[in-house]
Chain A
């Protein structure tokens, strides 16, 4: 099976403390460390496991600058066969549809039976998989936490509310967005990355993909981030006082406001 996995480089939230920069135009980028988006990593692991079972190849693709190449190498160290870097200044500030249409152009250059994305990213909107599938007119399932191959079809589990799994049958080719926990991604150490350091990674530009620069990037974006700000939260614990009943009532109001009572 020929599998394409769309990945992106994202700040590693577990290892960062996210704050907003001075003028509120972005998060504070100084001191950030990046890695592959966690969900995408599960998608790549799943693709590799499928390949190990039924054969074929795994290609990882990302859109970004030259720094994005490191995530491709990381995923290739895991076992992806090929990496493609899509890079063009014209792609900067693309909205979800922009990204999806760039990926669509890349996908149409190849022939893939299965296209995987991560279900979401910490700095994203969980939209690329669904958009891509619609653009390619392929069936789609989101939040996939189980994939079984059954001939020309897949049986996929979706993780839905209440820890319940929704089982669907889906025709190939298709697009799936992968939820964390579907597998246990393997570890990639420095050594693994060094092993693939010299593998050539092709870079595709807007021109290579036959894309109209005005349809993507800033000019093509209908959805734009205007600014960043820190949502209001208090400093340290506010100690509630009063009788137990009074405290309980105060607390209930606070909990309701924060979605703490369902």
Chain B
């Protein structure tokens, strides 16, 4: 259809061809954008290596699911839907925007494939998308600007909140939608004046609305609006492109890349330096993240990608109990620091250049902030852009350990771990004292494995379950279950050292390596062909961080298999209590074992089990942390365990079943401090099953 309006590329203004602007605006915009990006890439070039291109297949799947499919977004329903609309609209409108830019100097240009029927369909789709995006933007602006949800607020100590920036960007997007629609509507309106149009106009879209307005305007006014809306769109479009890398909307550019390069191995901590083997660690000058470029390039990409949505902090248990940690601000502070130290237009003043080499701890991060993390992984389970936090926290801790900045209360257990292989400083030979108790020994014999005595399955007990008077009951229950299923098993006894799961997460990599090597040697010597752990922390590190050892399973997986094979049968529940299962972080989020424990509980006839809906499975709320967390707790206003017990109470449960000794410590404490003794109790999964063995 012949346009009755003069297209921008052919128009003149006081004798000047507007085509010049149609060429100049994109050229300037693209050049400026490339310049900005090159500056933003500088810190990535100086940063540490990262593995990001292995296992391409899995990466593509994650990219399609989490990136294109926006799978994490509906977890926060309102913001999620708004985001999905805007994101989908962007994808659809991106083509049109490119087309529009070219129209600025080639009149009537259409991208290959966007002509004919496909083109018509696209135009329809586009006008619907633009309308929905505009509505979503308006809703978002009202929500963000007037009813700012709590999670967007920024405490003063962390810097300013980003509401103004967010609203500004939403406004820009709205302008793009409106001008695009005007540009689209103007020629159609002109056509309608003359009678008919071949274009399919969907009622209710903004294009439809603008046509309705413009068709009553004079032709010269429509022509002016046509050109004005084109150039506003052109300028705003490139302004937007160059504005993105300057703030939290950088994620529009980096987000999908970030998802593609995201870490695939949950449950394991990154090596001190990618590409450096354990044997070469001694040659490294420094450990961990001291200055900003000690982060990997992926971690810096993470900082760029943070959209400041606050979902991580909203789910972070440390933040919830008001410890001085909010994961979102780990990203925001680091990003602001990078922006300050790698400015786009000015060379950094000399002082700032030195600033870039400054220790981050004590500068943008506080010691207590970094020690506050329980490594529960709730933040990472939530982030729609797959930003990593645990590895960064551990890298920052590695730096503190390297500098000797370790809280006094943690130095003792670390010293004991190094000397005795357990954090309590207990004698090695007492590690298996729990098997000696008379009644238990009579009922269940536990072998101590060595080169001389072997068994099929090695039960890796770990420190707390070996030494703590309460937790040895879990060890005994686990043994009774294995015994009842006629499984030939044994333990390592004094040859077992702490698994080191927490040691590694507290940044003491060398000590972890030492414990791990001693354990691997003892495990191999034992001749066992598979390993079972009752402690998810031990399970996690053995499974994900030890090499060359036999297959590792959690006791819940073994119980389930034995039940299915009919080797274990359970007696019915007679007490009539209501049970709720608490997902331990290292079983659930870090290892995706959510169903086995539930199925095992449900296998008890007549048992009544409820869920802490909204706070279970990968939304489980950390009990307060295990291992070395028992020896050090930053300032907090309440205990995580107390909140967890409250959640169980709200679910009308009176027995919390967990499958982790540390959860047991924290929840047991919390029941007492909440004054719920008698009303609420906690039991380990192994204990529950051992009690129901027929």
The residues of A with any CB-CB pair to B shorter than 8 Å are 12, 14-17, 31, 33, 35, 78, 184-192, 194
Contacts and interface: CB of A to CB of B under 8 A. Distances in A.
Given A14-B425, A17-B427, A31-B429, A190 B418 contact: yes
A188 B404 contact: yes
Contacts of B425: 12, 14-16
B672 interface: no
Contact of B514 (A12, A14, A190): A190
B282 A194 contact: yes
B287 A191 contact: yes
Contact of A14 (B401, B412, B511): B412
Contacts of B419: 12, 15, 33, 35
30 contacts: A12-B415, A12-B419, A14-B412, A14-B416, A15-B415, A15-B420, A16-B425, A17-B427, A35-B415, A185-B408, A186-B403, A186-B405, A187-B401, A187-B406, A187-B411, A187-B414, A188-B404, A189-B401, A189-B402, A189-B508, A189-B510, A189-B511, A190-B418, A190-B511, A190-B514, A191-B281, A191-B402, A191-B509, A191-B510, A194-B510
Interface residues of B, number: 28
Contacts of B428: 31
A186 B415 contact: no
A12 B410 CA distance: 16
Contacts of B416: 14-15
Interface of B: 281-282, 287, 401-406, 408, 410-412, 414-416, 418-420, 425, 427-429, 508-511, 514
A190 B515 CA distance: 12
B404 A78 contact: yes
Q: Do most interface residues of chain B lie in helix, strand or loop, or is the interface mixed?
A: helix
A186 B404 contact: yes
Given A31-B428, A33-B419, 12 more contacts: A14-B412, A14-B416, A15-B420, A15-B425, A16-B425, A186-B405, A187-B401, A187-B404, A187-B411, A189-B510, A191-B287, A191-B402
Contacts, number: 57
Contacts of A186: 403-406
Contacts of A31: 427-429
Contacts of A15: 415-416, 419-420, 425
Across the A-B interface, the 4 shortest Cβ-Cβ residue pairs: A186-B404, A15-B425, A187-B406, A33-B419
A188 B408 CA distance: 12
A15 B428 CA distance: 11
With a 10 A CB-CB cut-off, give which of A14, A190, A191 has the most chain B CB atoms: A191
B618 to A, nearest CB: 34
B287 A33 contact: no
Nearest to B414: A187
A16 B426 CA distance: 7
Contacts of A187: 401, 404-406, 410-411, 414
With a 10 A CB-CB cut-off, give which of B402, B419, B511 has the most chain A CB atoms: B419
Contacts of B287: 191
Contacts of A191: 281-282, 287, 402, 509-510
Nearest to A194: B282
Nearest to A77: B404
With a 10 A CB-CB cut-off, give which of B404, B408, B428 has the most chain A CB atoms: B404
A102 B519 CA distance: 44
Contacts of B408: 184-185
Contacts of A194: 282, 510
Contacts of A35: 415, 419
A22 B415 CA distance: 29
B420 A33 contact: yes
A17 B415 CA distance: 16
Contacts of B429: 31
A191 B246 CA distance: 40
B595 to A, nearest CB: 40
Contacts of A16: 425
A16 B411 CA distance: 16
Contacts of A188: 404
A12 B415 CA distance: 10
Contact of A192 (B281, B404, B415): B404
B500 to A, nearest CB: 13
Nearest to B418: A190
With a 10 A CB-CB cut-off, give which of A33, A35, A187, A192 has the most chain B CB atoms: A187
Nearest to B406: A187
A188 to B, nearest CB: 7
A187 B411 CA distance: 6
Contacts of A189: 401-402, 414, 508, 510-511
A31 B489 CA distance: 28
A56 B435 CA distance: 56
Contacts of B420: 15, 33
Nearest to B407: A184
A189 B412 CA distance: 12
Contacts of A184: 408
B353 to A, nearest CB: 25
A185 B420 CA distance: 21
B434 to A, nearest CB: 17
A14 B409 CA distance: 12
A106 to B, nearest CB: 27
Nearest to B507: A189
Nearest to B403: A186
Nearest to A191: B510
Contacts of A185: 408, 411
A52 to B, nearest CB: 12
Contacts of A17: 427
B206 to A, nearest CB: 63
Nearest to A78: B404
With a 10 A CB-CB cut-off, give which of A35, A78, A189, A190 has the most chain B CB atoms: A189
A186 B410 CA distance: 11
Contacts of B514: 190
A15 B430 CA distance: 13
A185 B406 CA distance: 9
Nearest to A15: B425
A15 B509 CA distance: 22
Contacts of B414: 187, 189
A187 B408 CA distance: 8
A12 B419 CA distance: 10
A15 B421 CA distance: 11
A14 to B, nearest CB: 6
A16 B282 CA distance: 30
Contacts of B412: 14
A135 to B, nearest CB: 34
Contacts of A14: 412, 415-416, 425
A99 to B, nearest CB: 26
A66 to B, nearest CB: 19
B493 to A, nearest CB: 15
B332 to A, nearest CB: 29
A22 to B, nearest CB: 17
Contacts of A190: 418, 510-511, 514
B398 to A, nearest CB: 10
A189 B404 CA distance: 8
